[in-house]
Structure 1
Amino acid sequence: MISRIFFILNLLNVFTPKGFWYLFISIYKYGFNLMTLLAYSAYRFPQKIAICFENKNFTYKEFLQNTQKIAYVLHAACYIRKKDKVGVLLHNSVEQIETIFALSYLGADIYLLNPDITAEQLQPLQEKHQLKPIICENQHLDRLSGQISKKLININQLETASPIDTIPKGFGGKIIVLTGGTTGGFKTAKHKASAKAFIYPTYALIKELQIDKYESVYIAVPIFHGYGLATLLMSVALGKSMYICKKFETKQTLESIEKYRIEVATFVPTMLRRLLLENTKALASLKCIVCGAAPLPTETAKQVIDKLGTILYNLYGSSEAGFCIIANPKDLEKNIATIGKPIEGVRVRIDSPNAEGIGELCIKSDWTINPKDWIYTGDLARLDDNGLVFLYGRKDDMIISGGENVYPIYTEEVMLKHPAVAEVVVVGVADEDFGQILKAFVVVKPNQGVTEQALKLWLADKLVKFQIPKKIEFVTQIPYTSVGKVQRKSFKN
């Protein structure tokens, strides 16, 4: 691990006289927390653009100053102290990022909440974890009423506070990411803080993505999700210019990437698929595309490689297991369907594999929520002879039709290859004869047309009979969670 630490510190220029001095001053002024990372980059790159949001630029110097002001207000006016539990209910924004760093400076435990959460979902979370305040935006004040409203602090209405010297310097609190989504209950995923939990994933990301070679990063994914948070923290540590959007919109994202000549971008597969469908040329400046948080269709991966080159990286992780598997361009060249190999420090195994070697993917590392035990991910997967991992969807999504195990993700992959199909979801519906049959919900590409019969005929020589949907329904859109995962329950119901 020592060599990995030296690699990262060397990359940050800590071993130069200026670098060592900047690090010393950062620790002396702010202690050991996220503000230390921010301060170090602010001393190194004071006039460099840190954040671009809604066409407004903020330098690293301004980023640090604004974050310090928010910390003063939260400490003096909102009485937030070390080890207080604070909910952050904010969309991607400058205020959200500054609040996260300010709370870490104060030593508070930060609970990153999905901004789409309902009052019914938020109330039990607040009671269970005793969140002292919940920092939110204007729009949440009207939507979240009742008892929970008494705990809300509107980030847009915080009064300014004079600088004070009473904020104790020390270690930052925990950052807790919630698992689950808008269709089910939320659970917290607490990870034990350790050097390994930071060093190994960071080393793997920097080594594989080579993000240190680039200057600009577009963060399209939600920062309240582990994927977005990791991108944010790595970008700040390396002093990169971050371009963020409140919510993903296809045209706005394309315009930003083209206008600012973005080099690195993080997406979920749904976003990437829509961007490619709209205007591939606008993505020409990208040197590195990182995709994660949901299964990447092989057809989407193939389009990226064919049109933009070998710049695609496919990441796998979960709130419980953390970042643990990555497919680099060489892995995808060997087999475009793979999610790659485990990073250093991660062990994987397949639990109860069937005759095809497919079973539940289990992860073990020092940075899972329970380092002593295997984490059962709920994802179906198999390992090949080269150590590459392949996903077959969620265990709960597998369909048993006429005694045959059907993996809907495989049928979806094939259907996406049809020239008229933009998006598709396959689910199992009850049937008296077969127990379950496959039903597909299809979104057709603009200015394209296809009938149910024609689509079934096209699938006839590409899938085994039991893998072909018995019913196909055409819809205008597929509902996704805020982190880009299909809301399958809405179709099953």
Structure 2
Amino acid sequence: MTSNPWLDQYPDEVPHSYDYPKQNLAKFLVDSAALYPQHIALDFMGKKITYSSLLQSVYRFANALNQLGVRKGERIAIMLPNCPQGVIAYYGTLLVGGIAVMTNPLYVPREIEHQLTDSGARIIVTLDALVGRVKKAMEHHPMDYMIVTSIKDYLPFPKNVLYPIKAKKDGMAAQVEYGQRVLPFLSFLKNSSDAPIEVAVDAENDLALIQYTGGTTGFAKGVMLTHMNLVSNTIQAQLWFYRSKIAHEKYLAALPFFHVFGLTVLLNQAMYIAGTLILIPRFEINEVLKTIHKKKPTVFPGAPTMYIAVIHHPKVSSFDLSSIQICISGAAPLPVEVQERFEKLSGGKLTEGYGLTEASPVTHANNIWEKRKSGSIGIPFPDTIAKIVHSDTGEEMPLGEIGELIVKGPQVMKGYWDRPDDTERTLRDGWLYTGDLARMDDEGFFYILDRRKDLIIAGGYNIYPREVEEVLFEHPEVEEAVVAGINDPYRGENVKAYIVLRKGSTVTEKDLKSWCKERLAVYKVPKIYEFRDSLPKTLVGKVLRRKLIEEENEKLVNQSKVDL
């Protein structure tokens, strides 16, 4: 108890440990469909699909893959936004013993080629509008099969009739030549049996998912997650959300399922407790607010940028957000100011968690209804232990001191696909070395300072971008802020702030500098400010700090050419 002080902070309802079932991850859906066949599993823009109907389609997909010759351990790429087809393909792949490779629909051909060739996927499920991009990416190694769907395939009337007109207007219209190797999704299901199928898996060793990490530097690595990794993390998240009601919760599914955060806290978790997923194919703030107002979701996991978009919407007060009870924020640090304003607006709880793809992804979260601490990522999940160690020696740091966060638990990956050296560096004696700088307080709450690689060293001082960002976010006129270190011949690095102001704001660089000087040590105050209309982000809403640094480096290169 003394070595794991966070256990004292657990609510009485949350067990310290749990016996996780060793099963195929898709059993969550099979079991919920048996108990609640007529309950709504998916609500896709008004089209409602029951658990019974969803499972029937999943069995059809699994049997159809089986007919194509797919066997246990084969990789199936799924490149879709949040839609019923993605859910069907994901669980169908798992039931036939396949490994899902979730692929971002925004990827350019170079990224698609890397992911599909690296994973060895020979079949892809994708949208008609993306077929051209996939073909271009894979022209040197064509796919064995492409299973192609359209958004309109699962839209209710009259949206399904109107969709092609909208697609044409948006430049998303597509002509697909179907044939032996290019198969229409609906026919693929229709011509298949809905007989139950479940290939036996060794849950602790067999992979359910190869999930590629961001790859902001070089090519992305494939994280190998077993059925047991994902089953454990889904249940851990559920134990934390102990007031949830079976077959009652409605999940606003705005986080994409091709990101492991959305996959675990939305898709897998909703299937586990027979919840309803309100599918949002693309985060668009007006549509999201209308959906909350009309559909009354109770759970809204998201990234900080999603909550920022809500609190800064000019007409937010005209929407009823009171149905939202629980929000867990991940993928990036949650500014305290954003948390407080969102809770005031909605009346729900917005709590920060922490995770990484290599841990399925969640390892820590703040309590939802019990003690929590602002600016903290919270405490480790059940069966999860965490330590702060010296980055070079691996020795545990004294309490309160800064070091690298390492974690161990049933959700920690098996390793990186075909990368034994990277696996060896990241996994040591069962411990996952996160690369994040953190500290732990005497009650077991953890605080992330920053990624090791994001640390700014200016004039010999260590500066943590998150600390500076928190101060900038507190300014009433700042909508978004990110801080990065840029090259400086004298100090090594300078602190630069990239700012998105609220509409109509007249705040100047001088105003912000003065604001920061009152709240930060002088060496932490940004020296340079750049005002922008938007910040580069991933689809999950994580700000791409590396992209900003790359822009700066490009400017330096161009400047040196001019000087020459």
Q: Same fold (TM over 0.5)?
A: yes
Instruction: Give the structure 2 partner of residue 476 of structure 1.
Output: 533
Decide whether the 8 Å contact of 2:479 with 2:501 is kept in 1: yes
Match among 29, 38, 48 for residue 47 of structure 1: 38
For residues 168 and 60 of structure 1, the distance between their equivalents in structure 2, rounded to whole angstroms, comes to 16
SS in 1 for 2:338: helix
* Cα deviations by residue, 1:95-131 (Å, 9 ceiling, x for unpaired): 0001011111211121122222232223233333321
Match among 348, 360, 377 for residue 404 of structure 2: 360
Q: CA deviation at 1:167?
A: 7.7
Q: CA deviation at 1:82?
A: 2.6
Instruction: Give the structure 1 partner of residue 52 of structure 2.
Output: 61
**Inter-CA distance 210–155: structure 2 relative to 1 (3 Å threshold):** farther
**Inter-CA distance 207–489: structure 2 relative to 1 (3 Å threshold):** closer
Give the gaps of 5 or more residues in structure 1: 10-30
Decide whether the 8 Å contact of 1:268 with 1:483 is kept in 2: yes
**Inter-CA distance 387–379: structure 2 relative to 1 (3 Å threshold):** same
**Inter-CA distance 2–337: structure 2 relative to 1 (3 Å threshold):** closer
Decide whether the 8 Å contact of 2:439 with 2:446 is kept in 1: yes
Q: How does 1:321-336 map to 2 (within 5 A)?
A: 321-322=359-360, 323-329=362-368, 334-336=372-374
Instruction: Give the structure 2 partner of residue 150 of structure 1.
Output: 143
For residues 491 and 321 of structure 1, the distance between their equivalents in structure 2, rounded to whole angstroms, comes to 27
Structure 2 residue 118 is the aligned partner of structure 1 residue 128: yes
Instruction: Give the structure 2 partner of residue 284 of structure 1.
Output: 322
Structure 2 residue 244 is the aligned partner of structure 1 residue 211: yes
For residues 285 and 130 of structure 1, the distance between their equivalents in structure 2, rounded to whole angstroms, comes to 44
The percent identity for this pair of structures is 27
SS in 2 for 1:338: coil
Give the gaps of 5 or more residues in structure 2: 1-14, 150-183, 391-396, 415-426, 551-564
Structure 2 residue 258 is the aligned partner of structure 1 residue 220: no
Structure 2 residue 417 is the aligned partner of structure 1 residue 388: no
Instruction: Give the structure 2 partner of residue 171 of structure 1.
Output: 200
Instruction: Give the structure 2 partner of residue 180 of structure 1.
Output: 213
Q: CA deviation at 1:200?
A: 6.6
For residues 167 and 79 of structure 1, the distance between their equivalents in structure 2, rounded to whole angstroms, comes to 17
Decide whether the 8 Å contact of 2:81 with 2:282 is kept in 1: yes
SS in 2 for 1:150: coil
SS in 2 for 1:170: coil
SS in 1 for 2:143: helix
SS in 2 for 1:324: strand
Instruction: Give the structure 2 partner of residue 119 of structure 1.
Output: 109
For residues 195 and 244 of structure 2, the distance between their equivalents in structure 1, rounded to whole angstroms, comes to 37
What is the root-mean-square deviation in Å for CA atoms of aligned residues? 2.7
4+ runs of 1 displaced by more than 4 Å? Answer: 165-168, 353-356
Decide whether the 8 Å contact of 2:311 with 2:345 is kept in 1: no
**Count of aligned positions:** 467
Q: CA deviation at 1:149?
A: 4.6
For residues 217 and 64 of structure 1, the distance between their equivalents in structure 2, rounded to whole angstroms, comes to 19
**Inter-CA distance 419–164: structure 2 relative to 1 (3 Å threshold):** closer
Instruction: Give the structure 2 partner of residue 271 of structure 1.
Output: 306
For residues 31 and 226 of structure 2, the distance between their equivalents in structure 1, rounded to whole angstroms, comes to 25
Instruction: Give the structure 1 partner of residue 296 of structure 2.
Output: 261
**Inter-CA distance 68–200: structure 2 relative to 1 (3 Å threshold):** closer
Name the amino acid aligned to 1:247: R
SS in 2 for 1:490: helix
> Which stretch has the larger CA shift, 429-438 or 278-287?
278-287
Decide whether the 8 Å contact of 1:361 with 1:376 is kept in 2: yes
For residues 490 and 200 of structure 1, the distance between their equivalents in structure 2, rounded to whole angstroms, comes to 31
Q: CA deviation at 1:140?
A: 1.9
Match among 483, 500, 503 for residue 443 of structure 1: 500
For residues 501 and 142 of structure 2, the distance between their equivalents in structure 1, rounded to whole angstroms, comes to 42
For residues 355 and 405 of structure 1, the distance between their equivalents in structure 2, rounded to whole angstroms, comes to 19
For residues 63 and 505 of structure 2, the distance between their equivalents in structure 1, rounded to whole angstroms, comes to 56
For residues 297 and 331 of structure 2, the distance between their equivalents in structure 1, rounded to whole angstroms, comes to 21
SS in 1 for 2:245: helix
Q: How does 1:271-420 map to 2 (within 5 A)?
A: 271-278=306-313, 279=316, 281-309=319-347, 311-322=349-360, 323-329=362-368, 334-352=372-390, 357-370=401-414, 372-420=429-477
Match among 273, 285, 303 for residue 238 of structure 1: 273
Structure 2 residue 483 is the aligned partner of structure 1 residue 426: yes
Q: CA deviation at 1:65?
A: 2.2
* Cα deviations by residue, 1:347-387 (Å, 9 ceiling, x for unpaired): 11112259961111111123312574321111111000110
Instruction: Give the structure 2 partner of residue 91 of structure 1.
Output: 81
Instruction: Give the structure 1 partner of residue 174 of structure 2.
Output: none
Decide whether the 8 Å contact of 2:234 with 2:268 is kept in 1: no
Decide whether the 8 Å contact of 2:16 with 2:383 is kept in 1: no
SS in 1 for 2:91: helix
Name the amino acid aligned to 1:198: V
Decide whether the 8 Å contact of 2:303 with 2:331 is kept in 1: yes
Decide whether the 8 Å contact of 2:363 with 2:380 is kept in 1: yes
* Cα deviations by residue, 1:166-216 (Å, 9 ceiling, x for unpaired): 88642256222424226442111113444x863475145334353226421
* Cα deviations by residue, 1:424-472 (Å, 9 ceiling, x for unpaired): 1111111122111111111011122211111112222111111111110
**Inter-CA distance 165–223: structure 2 relative to 1 (3 Å threshold):** closer
> Which stretch has the larger CA shift, 397-406 or 444-453?
444-453
Give the structure, 1 or 2, with the largest relative contact order (CA under 8 Å, sep 6 or more): 2
Match among 175, 186, 202 for residue 235 of structure 2: 202
For residues 407 and 376 of structure 1, the distance between their equivalents in structure 2, rounded to whole angstroms, comes to 19
For residues 355 and 402 of structure 1, the distance between their equivalents in structure 2, rounded to whole angstroms, comes to 27
For residues 45 and 446 of structure 1, the distance between their equivalents in structure 2, rounded to whole angstroms, comes to 47
SS in 2 for 1:212: coil
SS in 2 for 1:265: coil
